[in-house]
Amino acid sequence: MAGVEIAILLFDGITALDAVGPYEVLAMVPGAQVRFVATERGAKRTARQAALALVADHTLSEIPRPDVILVPGGPGEAEARRNPEVLSWLRQAHETSRWTTSVCTGALTLAAAGFLDGVDATTHWSSMDDLAALGANPVTERVVVRGKVITAAGVSAGIDMALRLAQLEAGDDVAMAIQLILEYDPQPPFDAGSPAKAPAHVMEMVMDRSRRRSG
């Protein structure tokens, strides 16, 4: 991946791990240059309590043709998806990108830009219907590679996606070395990480919380 420029889109209302997880992986690929980009330079506040900020050092126009595009998700994704400047940049950058990727609801932005029409893709489990409404073919895989477009499911799946991208660009050994350095060896205390596995009462708890937020 020598000399490869990676642009990670930032916006207010981002889910931090969607961007930071892949960053920690991709920043260790030899020769990779990771850029945080946004419509305007400066701090972009995360969705949860706005307690954390990620900083965009570059505007979109300053990084017009990155080799890799990464679009995170989060509550603020809906506004980013409706922003003509964001969509225009994505369409232009996608023409020459080597890989165009998303994490979580970032797939909805890729779909809005027209990259996922009739294409298998994934996103957070709660947004599968939205993804379908935007023309994609939702699948429940954790990471989906279709041509040069790679989509990852919710939040933590971004790390898996980034390791897959590192493998595709730099080979198995480099990807495994990064995984080892990060000690990425998940052993969660519960097997409740998807709707198919979570207890029914926990699923209802999450859905009720979502209804209160949107109400």
| DSSP for residue 184 | -
Q: How far is CA 21 from CA 60, 61, 89, in A?
A: 21, 25, 23
Structure tokens at 119: 């294409």
Query: Under a CB-based contact definition with an 8 Å cutoff, are residues 164 and 170 in contact?
Result: no
98 counts as catalytic: no
Q: List the catalytic residue out of 34, 103, 104, 136.
A: 104
Q: Look at residues 35, 53, 36 and name the one whose alpha carbon lies nearest to residue 44.
A: 53
Dihedral sign for Cα 102, 105, 110, 113, please: negative
The gap from C-alpha 55 to its chain's centroid, in whole angstroms, comes to 17
- Tell me which residues are annotated as active site: 104
